Structure 1
Amino acid sequence: MTGSSGVPLRVLSYNIHGQRDDRAALVAVIRDAAPDVVIVQEGPRRFRWRRKSAALAESVNLVVAGGGLPALGNLLLTSLRVRVLATRCQRFPLTPGRHLRGAAYADCVVAGGARFTLAGSHLSTDPAERPAQAAVLKRELGAATTPLVVGADLNEGPDGPAWSTVAHGLTDAAVAADRAERLTYSCADPRSRIDALFVDPRITVVDYDVVDTPQTRRASDHFPVLVDLLLPVAG
């Protein structure tokens, strides 16, 4: 969509598979995208996670805004265009025998004066567990006081209950750009759109892409979602 005024923001939402694939390709993908913010799923969350997070950010000319181990691998990276005012991390209730999941949040202002809330999450692979996690995430998103930009690996498609919970009241960037047919997983056998970028309805979606290149196919098992937005400036 075009034709609206606002402050531009380029967002990359990316499940980087724990950096277990071609790291040089991963770095090249993020650099080539030239994002203002990166919402990372499956980022560093174990031994020396702070150092690993900082090394990833430095390699792509960004800084760590928040997340990491306290958010269970959800990591927020920002460029110098974006000033981070506050951050918080969330862990979803643990289901016995399952992996912990969570989310990261940052209250931000971008050069040009637009404030927004950045959020990233990664829901369970268990369909019985996801709806409750989505409800917890949605409650936290509902407390935001500035326009939301939410990137998530939901581990289910748009017809799923957890997806519907998170998406309610927000704009699905893929739908807004008429590109909902673009699949995000897996790079080896694209068959699902389980990675989403949702925004406040006051935010204009200018462009949306699922970046499918030889590099992205080597960098992770998910394709990155790259979105250009226009953020409203409060009067």
Structure 2
Amino acid sequence: MKLASYNIRKAVGRDRRRDPGRVIEVINSLGADVVVLQEADRRLGPRPTALPRKMLEDHSDYIPAPLAANDVSLGWHGNAVLVRRGLEITDTQRIELPSLEPRGAVSVEIDGKLRIAGTHLALMRRYRHPQMRALRAALARGETPTVVLGDFNEWSLTLGMEELHHGFETNVPGATYPTFRPVAALDRIALSPEVKLKRSGVHVTELSRIASDHLPIWAEVSLPAAAVPEPRSAVEHAPGAPG
């Protein structure tokens, strides 16, 4: 399976224009089975989604996982998960994370065989550590192979991820922030031992450099033979998004 993570900055690009169409175009170009999003909803009021559901339905091959706590958001604390049509969502979870500012995480189970979690951690490491502990505890309740993707807001390549080392192997695909000259690998992946990482990388295109202030990351993973989901029947390539 191919997984991806993308901080879409509420669909506001480097040019300060809010343009959900080009964000969807970047998402389509990833070619992933599951895409975890951060900052998918606005922060104020009822937190309306930055990616209209109708636009996703009409211009992508993805279905938002049912994670929102209201009728206007796409996710939980801005964390959303898009699943390609043809894959079955067998479980969802919203996870509260401790912080001075509202933070959370989400997870979805695909075909009962792979759990994918998405998160957006705090700016300060002293808050990220208890958040990772809470995330690890919430995900440890089951035995399903698990992959965590998201914006961990960690600038160091050697420190800061220790709380996930118990039970997960972390991966840094590359520098993702800021898009005009990436120097920080804020977006990362953590895999439980049952999940094998085949390849990972940063999705760099002319459009992804302007659609947000983060570049998307992706990972190709393999599961134990007994846990491999059935082949999907959906169309492989999604139609293009509006300009």
Q: TM-score range by the shorter chain?
A: 0.7 to 0.9
Question: Normalising to structure 2: TM-score of the pair?
Answer: 0.79
- Which protein has the bigger strand share? 1
- 2:82 partner amino acid: L
| Alignment deviations for residues 158-183 of structure 1 (CA, whole Å, 9 cap, x no partner) | 4333x221243323344xxxxx5x21
Q: CA 1:37–1:154 in structure 2 vs 1: closer, same or farther (change >3 Å)?
A: same
Q: Over the residues paired in the alignment, what is the CA RMSD in angstroms?
A: 2.3
The aligned runs of 1:1-235 (5 Å cut-off) are: 9-21=1-13, 22-45=19-42, 47=46, 49=48, 52=51, 54-55=53-54, 57-58=56-57, 59-68=59-68, 71-95=76-100, 99-109=101-111, 115-156=113-154, 157-161=156-160, 163-174=161-172, 182-234=174-226
Say whether the 8 Å CA contact 1:66–1:104 is kept in structure 2.
no
Matched residue SS, 1:82: coil
Distance 1:50 1:219 in 2: 16
Q: Mark the CA change 1:48 to 1:55 in structure 2 (over 3 Å): closer, same or farther.
A: farther
Q: Distance in 2 between matches of 1:194 and 1:131?
A: 15
Per the normalisation by structure 1, the TM-score is 0.81
User: Helix, strand or coil: the match of 2:133?
Assistant: helix
User: SS at the partner of 1:31?
Assistant: helix
What amino acid is aligned across from residue 129 of structure 2 in structure 1? P
2: distance between equivalents of 1:225 and 1:12? 6
1:96-115 superposed Cα distances (whole Å, 9 cap, x missing partner): xxx20000011221xxxx70
Asked if the contact 1:71–1:91 (Cα under 8 Å) also holds between the matched residues in 2, the reply is no
Instruction: Tell me the secondary structure at the aligned position of residue 132 of structure 1.
Output: helix
Shift of 1:25: 2.7
1-structure distance, mates of 2:218, 2:143: 24
Q: Which runs of 5+ in 1 are unaligned?
A: 1-8, 175-179
Deviation per residue, 1:141-200 (Å, 9 max, x gap) = 222321001102110134333x221243323344xxxxx5x2111112311111111222
Between 1:55-64 and 1:45-54, the stretch displaced more is 45-54
Percent identical residues: 27
Deviation at 1:48, TM superposition (A): 6.5
20-29 vs 52-61, which moves further: 52-61
CA contact (8 A) 1:120 1:150 kept: yes
Give structure 2 stretches of 5+ with no counterpart.
Answer: 14-18, 228-243
Matched with 2:241 is: none
